[in-house]
Chains A and B, each alone.
Chain A
């Protein structure tokens, strides 16, 4: 259904994120063991692999949450490996978490407005010296936040504490919140997990729209092969801390290394439709 879009928006090939030889050890385990991958600008790239393949750990390393044990990574040409998470997020590469981090004792709307960039009121001096500017920006931000919440069906719980949301709603909130930062590249860790199919579709549509309208790129971890095969234009496969395959969905599906890696879980092999 979206294939036409995908063709029209064929990524121009320039990488937005380039990671080479990324290593992360935990004691004796090499959770990420020399992963090398590129994410192309304007692409929706899926990152797949069996449980424990190191996908989440890879996210944690390139977004600054874990200190790397080796390798390099550049975002839009800037070296990012080893930088602090907030600095990387400000460059425009923003991630969500597999285990959601809703700010429970804050209203949903505050979770959203918090994420907005360029709020002068986040500096104490401006709070005191420029209250009007702060309020004006706050009004703008609030409007954007409500719009986004509507997309994800969360507008009616905007004033509720985020802690009262269901698991799926938290997932959506986290995604919406990440979008509030106006990222250039979004790293989504299993965004669809626990989301009902209708909303899941809406989420995917929204990703397509952001890519088309604003050129936002996506790298998302996903286990649902139907989603991966139909909604991504590139698929990167990790197993045991390394990238074992990288290509268009149909190429990856028939890749022998991928099939081997998935033996036992069997998800890829089964999924021959679409």
Chain B
């Protein structure tokens, strides 16, 4: 981790780098919000957040590339699919005790990744999803690229002469983070949120008072899945590819206090290294050739701290 940084320290002063970090921080802040709802508010140790992201991102890309959906229509549909997946995870495993539930969620998220890696015809296998038929046809993010260009135009008219290519995504991601934070705060403060907290404190007590705890836990999962799906969409737009190894359900997602906003942050590869990769390949069909070499991933524990500092979205 130190080595490549030592070679190219100048990226620290590069706005593009920090904007990239900010995008990732936002994406993982979204994941953290979903987890906070599950773990912090409902007391469900859900390690399957990466699975929600993966299902969302893959569903979106597959709908666009293989089923001919428009990008904008694919988003809500993919979100519903992720919610469906969340419920599917919950129905059998929520009956398990907390620790077994945690294991089951890791297993299911891993299952998603393994399926993604192996169902080549649908998911592109280890190459991931990018554009239709080797780059010749449309790419799943074309609609976004257009919008992004429009936003860049607005930024220019606001006086930013040469906006970074990721600046529009940064703005959209953080608008979502703010929206999700406010929305979640609103529902968590409601009587509905009170039931969730009661379940976290003592599920039996909540049942004894007539609360259908199972239904609430499913709702909590469904909302986290919807938020996770959006985190997945954003990651797919950020990386301009949907790749199985971006969705490893690593247990290290739990850093810091579960109830603290921004207390759960991580990055699948985590460090600054992959940021140094060219972001948009002029010729997308060659992207596959210089997809992250193994060294990229041999980073061990990532510097989630980098992401957090950059995001500045919560106390440690």
Q: List the interface of chain A (C-beta within 8 A of B).
A: 63-65, 84-87, 89-90, 94-97, 101-106, 110, 113-115, 117, 119, 121-124, 127-128, 134, 138, 177-178, 180-181
Residue of A nearest to B207 (CB): A85
* B210 CB–A CB distance under 8 Å: yes
Contact with B190, one of A89, A127, A181 (Cβ below 8 angstroms): A127
Confirm or deny: B279 has a beta carbon within 8 angstroms of a beta carbon on chain A: no
A68 to B192 alpha-carbon distance, docked (Å): 31
Q: A94: which of B204, B208, B212 is its contact (CB, 8 Å)?
A: B208
B191:A134 contact, CB within 8 angstroms? yes
Which B residues are CB-close (under 8 A) to A94? Answer: 208-210
For the complex, is B117 an interface residue (Cβ under 8 Å from A)?
no
Within 8 A of A (CB), among B159-213: 186-187, 190-192, 194-195, 197-198, 200-202, 204-213
Question: Using Cβ atoms and an 8 Å threshold, which residues of chain B touch A101?
Answer: 202, 204-205, 208
**Given A124-B192, A124-B219, 13 extra CB contacts under 8 A:** A89-B208, A97-B205, A101-B202, A103-B202, A105-B200, A106-B201, A114-B206, A115-B209, A121-B191, A122-B195, A127-B186, A127-B192, A138-B191
A127-B191 in contact (CB<8A):
yes
21 contacts between A and B (CB under 8 A): A63-B208, A65-B208, A84-B207, A86-B209, A86-B210, A86-B212, A95-B208, A103-B205, A104-B201, A105-B200, A106-B197, A106-B201, A110-B197, A113-B191, A114-B198, A114-B209, A119-B191, A121-B190, A127-B190, A134-B191, A178-B209
User: Does B194 lie within 8 Å of A113, measured CB to CB?
Assistant: yes
Name B's interface SS.
helix
A114 and B190 in contact, given A94-B210, A103-B202, A181-B210 (Cβ under 8 angstroms):
no
Q: How far is the CA of A124 from the CA of B196 in the complex (A)?
A: 12
Residues of B within 8 A of A113 (CB): 191, 194
Which 10 A-B residue pairings sit nearest by Cβ, starting from the closest? A121-B191, A89-B210, A101-B205, A103-B201, A85-B207, A127-B190, A90-B210, A115-B209, A101-B202, A119-B191
In Å, the complex CA distance between A118 and B206 comes to: 15
Residues in B with CB closer than 8 Å to A85 are: 204, 207-208
Contact of B210 among A65, A117, A121, A127 (CB under 8 A): A117
Which residues of chain B have C-beta atoms less than 8 A from A63's C-beta?
208
| Bound complex: CA A85 to CA B206 (Å) | 9
User: Do the beta carbons of B211 and A86 come within 8 Å of each other?
Assistant: yes
Residues of B within 8 Å of A114, CB to CB, are: 191, 194-195, 198, 206, 209, 211
Cα(A110)–Cα(B198), bound, Å: 9
Shortest Cβ distance from residue B83 to the other chain A in the assembled complex, whole angstroms = 13
Other-chain contact of B192, A89, A104, A122 (Cβ < 8 Å): A122
- Name the B residues within 8 Å of A105 (CB-CB): 197, 200-201
Most interface-central of B194, B197, B210 (chain A CB within 10 A): B210
CB distance from A33 to the nearest CB of B (A): 24
Write the chain A residue with the least CB distance to B195. A122
- Tell me the smallest distance from the CB of A182 to a CB of chain B, in Å: 10
Q: How far is the CB of B309 from chain A (nearest CB, A)?
A: 29
CA distance A106 to B211 in the complex (A): 16
Minimum Cβ distance to chain B for residue A116 (Å): 9
Q: Which residues of B contact A84 (CB under 8 A)?
A: 207, 212
